Amino acid sequence: MKKEEINGCTVLEADAGKKIVKDNFVCGTVVWLAVGDATDAYKEVSVEEADAMEKAQREIEGGKPDEETPVETPSDIDMAKAAKIAEIAAYSDSDAVNSLTFNGIKTWLTRTVRDGYDTSITAAKNLGETNVTFMVGDNEMQLPVEQARRVLDLVQRYADACFIVTERHKIAVKALQTVEEVEAYDYTVGYPEKLAL
């Protein structure tokens, strides 16, 4: 089972020929979890085992064992919106948005890296150190503590602004009324100018 973080949510994806279950309830092949939800209760089972679990559940609920549960098929507009929102998320996570230039080197600082540098800068300042060392790509860089703080703050505010633009695009797509509008929607606009530090 693959586990991935997408826009703050945890996404579990079953391996081929498997489904994801929790407490004997079949969840499907992909499960989106809210921020902070634990993943340890979810496990993979074979498709055959999942089908048997669903059949047993229908019998418990009073349905006939051979009776198929009707599957609600999403509408074309819902499918188009879901696909476009997935494209928006992928674009937001790509180098088209998540990159900056520092001393001529193209790089990006993920949230985890930013948090680590924040801790390092605070520690250096608290200890009275004047410089802090960090990595940009394969290059070791030293900056005065105050300048490093400013650089990190600029990167964080850029990331915040990009997040807001991404969320606005998702909201806009959800409000569209036709498949044609969804397909024509340009989610590449509105992002702030990339940082060159």
Report how far residue 72's alpha carbon sits from residue 29's, in angstroms, rounded to the nearest whole number. 16
Nearest to 18 by CA among 49, 42, 41, 47: 47
Cα angle 28, 34, 38 (rounded to 5 degrees) comes to 80
pTM: 0.63
Report how far residue 105's alpha carbon sits from residue 97's, in angstroms, rounded to the nearest whole number. 16
Confidence at residue 68, expressed as pLDDT on a 0 to 100 scale: 62
Confidence at residue 56, expressed as pLDDT on a 0 to 100 scale: 76
**What is the average pLDDT score of the chain?**
88
Q: Is the pLDDT of residue 180 over 60?
A: yes
Query: Once rounded to an integer, what is the mean pLDDT over residues 42-62?
Result: 80
Which pairs with CB-CB distance under 8 Å and at least 24 residues apart come from 119-128?
Answer: 121/145, 121/148, 121/149, 121/152, 124/148, 125/149
Q: Is the pLDDT of residue 60 over 60?
A: yes
Contact (Cβ atoms closer than 8 angstroms) between residue 171 and residue 164: no
Confidence at residue 63, expressed as pLDDT on a 0 to 100 scale: 56
Task: Indicate the pLDDT class of residue 66, thresholds 50, 70 and 90.
Answer: low
Residue type, 127: L
Both structure tokens of 65: 């064992």
Hey, where are the domains in the chain? 2-72, 81-184
